[in-house]
Amino acid sequence: MRRTVLAAMLTVAVGAGLTAVAGTASAAAGCRVTYTVSSQWQGGFGADVQIDNLGDPLTGWTLTWSFAAGQTVTQLWNGSVTQSGTQVSVTNAAYNGSLATGASASFGFNGTWTSANPVPASFVLNGVTCTGSTAPTTSPTTAPTTAPTTAPPTSGPATFTNPVVWQDFADGDIIRVGDVYYYSASTMHYSPGAPILRSYDLVNWEYAGHSVPRLDFDSAAYDLSGSRAYVKGIWASAFNFRPSDSTYYWLGCTEFNRTYVYSAKAVDGTWSKKAKISKCYYDAGLLFDGATPYVAYGNGTISVAQLSADLSSEVRSQAVYTTPSSIGTLEGSRMYKRGNYYYIWLTRPANGQYVLRSTSPWGPYEQRQVLLDLPGPISGGGVPHQGGLVQTQNGDWYYMAFTDAYPGGRMPTMAPISWSSDGWPVLQTVNGRWGSSYPRPNLPWHPVASMVGTDTFTGALGPQWEWNHNPDTSKFSVGNGLKLSTATVTNDLYNARNTLTRRIQGPSSTATIQLDYSAMANGDRAGLAMLRDQSAWIGIRKDNGATRVSMTNGLTMSTSGWTTTGTGTEAAGATVSGGKIWLRVTANIQPGSGRTATFSYSTNGSTFSTLGPAFTLNSDWQFFMGYRFGVFNYATSALGGAVTVNQFGVTS
């Protein structure tokens, strides 16, 4: 979604002779080079290179270095490359050749290696060795988990179909680091928050991690302790990678009055809170212009802030654009730099997309409409909007938006982008609408881990799982199934801690759990829910030493304050015994009103009996998050009981 530099054409010429663009001479020790290996796998790697000009101004540049035997550049962006044996020369692209004293230029590439992948020992810019604190970054000694461990397969379908991901991942931010794509989304009150998806081809996506391991937002409400944080927490937020320090950053405003910054060295590594800024960067977009962080933000009035180098404070901020009344309101900022222009990508919720452009981050900005009331690709769904842009290794551009598709939520939806001759992004449509399918991106086909399947909880919870608010970590364990001890005494599922959720796969899917309820206490309630502001569940009620399977509906919240207005009543039930049961819900989340979920159970795992009436799903948008499957266990009398979920499977 955000790129440090938004590049133009890709040029590769391995073993051929290209004429370098002539440039003025550099002074002695006139450059500094930062070479970062951004990803590495068996036989391949991605790298980012930044040139800092410390000498005379340049009107064109060529950077040369020597590789080790077996190292080869295969794809390069933001420039052109020649390689003869181990000698590599990279020449500027048309738009990044002019480098004033103190200015920087960046390019990136993918390459191959055989026995080793060392960082080059030195670099030469326009014939002068860069001795101004050349700063190579040491190559990883082992392949990080964010890159493939084997060469990706190249076969695959000729087209892709929207939505690219039929699960609820809204307010997306999309970036590319080397040859890996990442997509970050909002999660409101779910914990961990700000999930990250990963792809190598923009079509096949997998869960990768979370930027916010716990909703540590200075309020007990996020712990369901005395108060609640429904529809608060993580809204549209910013996600980007800074090559100069090889660090991923997440930035988000909570409750309209404070902004948190998290960072990590690897997407699926350890994320930590880096800063709290006592100002709301609402619907923020994060751009690294070289190493300098800029944030675009706001609703109606769009502002830009420059942050300190460590992103812990604001250096400067300024309003740069006021949305005219003829448009209404604009928000959902994403900020990019392409060539000499800065772009701010903005949404008109929930049916339009606009873009601002300026030669300075501080403006003045001119504006263009990208789309308005464009029919979307999901039958019954809304207009694709918000989200952001990404450029592939091959120089192609894509826009990853989302489409409102309630009751399921907001689904990532992708389309190609071209650029007009005067430098404006143009959405590619099909017969006057956002295409239900497009030609697949020109990238190696790379299937990844499925986003559905069965978990037997033999190890740590994977990134497909999120709790309803922060969990009480003393009341659950994994290893031999998922053990949920009661953590709350309540008669209200919305107040109960440690409800574990998983997104529903569209357009319809089924969740089945195997539940061991033999250790439940009197008054306990445990089961499988369709969880949203109007909810229902199937599960076990234990009262007076007897257990019964129950389908309960009528759990409701108000849309003002999200307070509970109904704790539910049993619609159907049956006496069960034996301590083990299979619970199932099948949900149709195709967009529109009247969609339903049906509940059933089994005492042997093979023969299922429907229980209770079909549950009609709420297709209103106000809760923002779509329906989820949720497994729960809470007490109505006293703590002490427990259940074990031996498996949780999602099929579509």
pLDDT tens per residue, range 74-107: 866 667 889 999 999 999 876 678 888 888 888 8
Kindly report the CATH number that applies to the domain delimited by 11-136.
Answer: 2.60.40.290
Round to whole Å and give the CA distance between 280 and 215. Answer: 17
Kindly report the CATH number that applies to the domain delimited by 169-369.
Answer: 2.115.10.20
- Both tokens of residue 188? 């409101």
Round to whole Å and give the CA distance between 305 and 478. Answer: 43
Residue 438: CB partners within 8 Å, gap ≥ 6? 159, 160, 162, 414, 415, 416, 428, 430
Residue 455: CB partners within 8 Å, gap ≥ 6? 462, 464, 465, 647, 648, 649
> Which amino acid is located at 73 in the chain?
V
Round to whole Å and give the CA distance between 477 and 461. Answer: 10
Contact assessment for residue 388 and residue 1, using Cβ atoms and an 8 Å cutoff:
yes
pLDDT of residue 149: 33
Residues in the chain: 652
User: How many C-beta atoms lie closer than 10 Å to residue 341's C-beta?
Assistant: 18
pLDDT of residue 95: 63
Confirm whether pTM is higher than 0.85: no
Round to whole Å and give the CA distance between 63 and 73. Answer: 14
**Segments in the chain below pLDDT 50:** 1-28, 134-153
Kindly report the CATH number that applies to the domain delimited by 453-651.
Answer: 2.60.120.200
Residue 282: CB partners within 8 Å, gap ≥ 6? 253, 256, 297, 298, 299, 331
Residue 560: CB partners within 8 Å, gap ≥ 6? none
Round to whole Å and give the CA distance between 305 and 314. Answer: 7
Round to whole Å and give the CA distance between 184 and 633. Answer: 30
Round to whole Å and give the CA distance between 212 and 207. Answer: 14
- Both tokens of residue 154? 């190249």
Round to whole Å and give the CA distance between 599 and 616. Answer: 12
pLDDT of residue 500: 98
Round to whole Å and give the CA distance between 589 and 406. Answer: 7
- Tokens 């988990």 label which residue? 145
Residue 430: CB partners within 8 Å, gap ≥ 6? 436, 437, 438
**Structural domain boundaries of the chain?**
11-136, 169-369, 453-651
Contact assessment for residue 137 and residue 35, using Cβ atoms and an 8 Å cutoff:
yes
- Both tokens of residue 212? 């916010």
Nearest C-alpha neighbor of 1 from the set 178, 167, 183, 166: 183
